[in-house]
Amino acid sequence: MGVLEDKARARLFYRYLSKVYDRVNPFIWNESMRAESLEMLALDAGDRVLDVGCGTGFGTEGLLEYTEDVYALDQSEGQLEKAWAKLGKHDPVQFTFGDAERLPFAADSFDAVWSSGSIEYWPNPVAALREFRRITKPGGKVLVVGPNYPRSTLFQKLADAIMLFYDEAEADRMFRDAGFEAIEHRTMGPSYKPDVAITTLARVPEQ
């Protein structure tokens, strides 16, 4: 387990990173990547969607281009404060302080769940994905963007020491273990590193 796959360390890390996050973020997670991911999710107007690990609201802003029924959750108060400054604390987004592995929502509450740049900090990704499945309606979609596993052995060792990095095979395993179906993956990234991220789209089985 990487050093930042500890919730207390991750909160401390983001307390400081939140101050510069929006200036750093475009180098690894930019608007074109967000747009491509949103096209994959293919939301309908009126869909109720949850952004897990919303950070400063970059992904949340994209979701609002498709639907007005957006909820967002993060475990970092520093990140949430930045998101509130952009979007307001209560409207148009319903913000919640919380943990991806223990989501404070009833079963079948959402048509879709989105999470970008958060899975790498979860101590138990499969537990969080099971929570995603629980709160998503049957037939609903879940999209997760995370860091693609490096090809270099040296960078693999560095990545493993910091947080969760994974490849398509591992993403497939995690989503299947969490009970999803129709799983597909796509790598994406900025021009200088086009495969820095891995985006996974999956469906909750129909009952």
Model pLDDT for residues 77-100, shown as the tens digit of each residue: 888 999 999 999 989 999 999 999
Under DSSP, the state recorded for 138 is E
Structure tokens at 203: 């469906």
Confidence of residue 15 (pLDDT cuts 50, 70, 90): low
Q: What CATH number corresponds to the domain at position 147?
A: 3.40.50.150
The answer to whether residue 52 is domain-embedded is yes
Q: Which residues pair with 48 in a beta bridge?
A: 69
Give the Å distances, CA to CA, from 54 to 60, 118, 177.
6, 8, 24
Q: Residue 142 carries which side chain, given as an amino acid letter?
A: V
Its pTM stands at: 0.88
Domain presence at residue 48: yes
Q: Which domain holds residue 134?
A: 7-203
205 exposure class (CB count in 10 Å sphere: 0-12, 13-18, 19+): exposed
196 Cα distance to chain centroid: 15
What radius of gyration do the chain's Cα atoms show? 16
pLDDT given for residue 23 in this prediction: 73
Query: What is the mean pLDDT of the segment spanning 141-167?
Result: 72
In a domain, 103, yes or no: yes
Q: What is the pLDDT of residue 121?
A: 86
Residue 1 lies in a domain: no
Residues with Cβ within 8 Å of 32's Cβ and at least 6 positions away in sequence, in order, are none
Please give the pLDDT value at position 16: 46
Q: Which of 58, 158, 66 is nearest to 112 (CA)?
A: 66
pLDDT value at position 199? 97
Instruction: Tell me the pLDDT band of 13, cut-offs 50, 70 and 90.
Output: low
Split into its structural domains, the chain has a count of 1
Give domain status of residue 2, yes or no. no
Q: In this structure, how many other beta carbons lie within 10 angstroms of the beta carbon of residue 6? A: 15
How many C-beta atoms surround the C-beta of residue 9 within 10 A?
14
